[in-house]
Structure 1
Amino acid sequence: MLDIVYNHEPDLLLKAAPHHHDKDLLLKVAEGDEHAFRRLFIAHHQQLGVHICRITNSVELAEEVVQDVFLKIWMTRETLRNVDNFKAYLFVISKNHALNCLKKLAKEKVQIKKLEQASVGLIIPETQDNLYYNLLDEAIDHLPTQQQKVYLLSRHNRLKYAEIADQLKLSRETVKKYLQIATISITDYVRTHLDVYLIVLIYLFKK
């Protein structure tokens, strides 16, 4: 994990390693020099992490962005030969990646909220509340073990993604995916069984 500190002064973000020093490192990295890449990472990741943390307001997300960006830099290292100002280049691609991550997270939250609202909207007349909650319990019981744990820790214990990830020894991204899949599965299960129940109920009333 990156050691991101919050008490950096804003003007520190404007300070960079000497330009010629960066250029030498970039040329070495472009040739596949892992030691040079490590030096480049050490020289810039701290200030970059602080900068991205201010954009995302999340240390975890800032760490992910910084790691993703440097991985991308290594994967496309040949292009570094054409970079004149690495500091500016690094901050631009990092900012763009951070904004894309925020947009993705926002969409996921909206989707999960819609699924939860759809699930709540399945509640039928008050006399059938017990049926709904019984189906909800059944749906949770039918989930794979890890998905079930993630769902219960999130919905019942109200833990955050990071807390669940730490407790279950999973990545934060895996927790998000498990929660999304579990929510969809539960909603589909309850909806399907309620539909069957209503069909039977209508049939009985017609007799």
Structure 2
Amino acid sequence: MINDLLLIKKVKEGDIKAFEILFRKYYPPLSYYSVTITGSSDAAEDIIQDLFYVLWRERERIQILSSLKSYLYNAVRNRSLQYCDKRKLDQRYRISSLNPSSQDTEQDSLNGIEYRELEEIIKKSLERMPSRRVEIFRMHRFGNQKYREIAEALSVSVKTVEAEMTKALKEIRKEIELHTSIL
């Protein structure tokens, strides 16, 4: 069996056979990992296929600083979280556009502004948090995953997931309280 360093070297040189070996080796575990984040096998399939397409297309420019496995898993995690964020945004848009009783009253406008402000506060708060905490928060809140599922996907304990969620929510609450006290 060819090791990953040799495999990626051959892929960078345009060796299609090496790429096929890489694909066959990593497609199943990456698909499973993506499903644990997205909750959708169809989405996972699209994410993984797109990742491998980009990997082949950009093969000469790709810089893998750690292990190939880490690189692929990080890429899948990022793409899967982006999918979850987009899906959540799409759901919000569909719900708001299907609401026939929504009128342009002063109260509706105020609620819309408050909601957008709240989203912005949460977004800024997440930007200041450690990446692992943000990842756990997004997997739970946007990916609708249970703590146990997150723990398995990230190879950490359920207690770690609980602790990170508690810290994330505490930081967000503090930011919201700070913002509302200013107003």
TM-score (normalised: structure 2): 0.52
In the alignment, structure 1 segments of 5+ residues that lack a partner are 1-17, 124-207
Runs of at least 4 residues off by over 6 Å: none
Identity of paired residues, percent?
Answer: 28
Contact conserved, 2:64 with 2:71, CA < 8 A, in 1? Answer: no
Partner of 1:112: 94
Identify the match of residue 32 of structure 1 among 3, 11, 14: 14
Partner of 1:86: 68
Partner of 1:46: 28
Letter in 1 for 2:31: G
In the alignment, structure 2 segments of 5+ residues that lack a partner are 104-183
> What is the DSSP-based 3-state SS (H/G/I as helix, E as strand, rest coil) of the residue aligned with 1:110?
helix
> What is the DSSP-based 3-state SS (H/G/I as helix, E as strand, rest coil) of the residue aligned with 2:14?
coil
> What is the DSSP-based 3-state SS (H/G/I as helix, E as strand, rest coil) of the residue aligned with 1:79?
coil
Task: Give the CA RMSD over aligned residues.
Answer: 2.0
How has the CA–CA distance of structure 1 residues 89 and 111 changed in structure 2, closer, same or farther, with 3 Å as cutoff?
same
How has the CA–CA distance of structure 1 residues 113 and 82 changed in structure 2, closer, same or farther, with 3 Å as cutoff?
closer
Aligned 1:66-77 pairs, distance under 5 A: 66-77=48-59
Contact conserved, 2:11 with 2:19, CA < 8 A, in 1? Answer: yes
Letter in 2 for 1:76: E
Identify the match of residue 121 of structure 1 among 80, 87, 101: 101
Higher relative contact order (CA 8 A, sep 6+): 2
Per-residue CA deviation, residues 114-160 of structure 1 (Å, 9 max, x unaligned), is: 1101xx2279xxxxxxxxxxxxxxxxxxxxxxxxxxxxxxxxxxxxx
Contact conserved, 1:62 with 1:98, CA < 8 A, in 2? Answer: yes
Taking the aligned partners of 1:43 and 1:92, their CA distance within structure 2 comes to 16
Aligned 1:92-103 pairs, distance under 5 A: 92-103=74-85
Taking the aligned partners of 2:77 and 2:102, their CA distance within structure 1 comes to 41
- Deviation, structure 1 residue 97: 0.6
Aligned residue pairs total 103
How has the CA–CA distance of structure 1 residues 82 and 89 changed in structure 2, closer, same or farther, with 3 Å as cutoff?
closer
Partner of 2:177: none
